[in-house]
Chains A and B, each alone.
Chain A
């Protein structure tokens, strides 16, 4: 079954077209990476799909529900980890996790249970009683992603999840994201091409608001006659290899 289907999705800000006639299909359980240069429209797509921004034209369907018609139903089945770390600074790690679990409808007992399980999954057990604001950048980012997963979403949006993380923290997060494959539909935006290569089932490349290529990493490499994803990406963006 398709988890996400966009049909002629458009977003304009005045005269500027941020997303231009996007048609995309993402299967359930797939890990789909959206790549593009700065300003290509990746974050705008994520914002529209997570019902944070209304499309100017077209529509998108998440597990059959339209983002224009049923945003409230969609919000129950998705979760999002924004580009910047999004945690409540004066709440402890445990309180942050339980808050999100509760907001998605879990009762107090289940929230506590989910918080413990999610913390364990993301290596946050040792800092459960620490306030989020005193954690390192890497740990805060990990918490931010754990908060996106505690509601057991069917579709998860990760907007540049490893931005600013050191190499060890990045690899740890990759392992956590890989573990979601097949269970959760993940849409991930990233500037790190090796990340897309390591994690994705399929990759979509955007340029100037348009989708210029969609396929597996080997599809894109073959399509452009290159030898690696970085070269394929540059070729698809009109750059010189």
Chain B
């Protein structure tokens, strides 16, 4: 009951901010349009499949979920710095109520957001198959990574710092080190090693493989992402519990 009430409140707080709508829904769609136009201008003899819709749609689905770190982080930080969270800490709410209450709306928003991204991708040539549903499911699962980053940053930092780290740093790193905008395999070297170490490239590859229903490729990438998400969540929950105890 408390989780539902708190989730509803968090959903309202986020969707009633017009900027969130733009970054959450509009920005991935604008990128889809721009990158599709670029793709159409690339001559066939260049043999560059990076911006082809089968690669682009999973990449932008991931890029959209990166904004969940910003949304969740900003919400937690604002609640904390405005004393609203102090009021709730004094209420009968438990740590589980808080973590689920902040997480569930983000997961629901991810589902809506990536569904819209995939549906829009149909206009740009993505084949309509049932595997799109599977890709949406995997996108939703991988979004725990970004929601966890947001919870951790929101617990430790103020809303301005969260804006800088989750809004600028995380989205940029996620964009550049995931292979959406630049051909990682072509660059290779240290850059490729870094992308392999970070989880963002694995998120995109897991979603791409889900779209192809290729479990042998998907599962190792998904494993890396979930390991990262789990570690980040454990740290975030530990930090949040400490805040609840006033330590």
What residues of chain A have their CB less than 8 Å away from a CB belonging to chain B? Answer: 47, 50-54, 72, 75-76, 78-91, 95, 99-100, 102-105, 131, 144, 147-148, 151, 157
Contact = CB atoms under 8 A, between A and B. Distances in A.
Contacts, number: 79
A16 to B, nearest CB: 15
A84 B91 contact: no
Contact of A53 (B9, B94, B245): B245
B245 A54 contact: yes
B2 A102 contact: yes
Contact of A147 (B6, B78, B87, B94): B87
Contacts of A81: 87
B86 A52 contact: yes
Interface stretch (B10-18, B147-155, B191-199, B220-228): B10-18
A149 to B, nearest CB: 12
Contacts of A102: 1-2, 5
B22 interface: no
B4 to A, nearest CB: 9
A84 B92 CA distance: 20
B9 A88 contact: yes
Interface residues of B, number: 25
Contact of B17 (A50, A51, A75, A90): A90
Contact of B246 (A54, A78, A100, A144): A54
B6 A103 contact: yes
A194 B16 CA distance: 41
Nearest to A47: B246
B12 A78 contact: no
Interface in B210-247: 245-247
Given A99-B6, A104-B92, 14 more contacts: A51-B90, A52-B86, A53-B245, A79-B90, A80-B86, A80-B90, A89-B13, A95-B9, A95-B12, A102-B5, A103-B88, A104-B91, A144-B87, A148-B87
Interface in B165-199: none
Contact of A85 (B83, B91, B246): B83
A99 B5 contact: yes
Given A83-B83, A84-B83, A91 B9 contact: yes
B12 A90 contact: yes
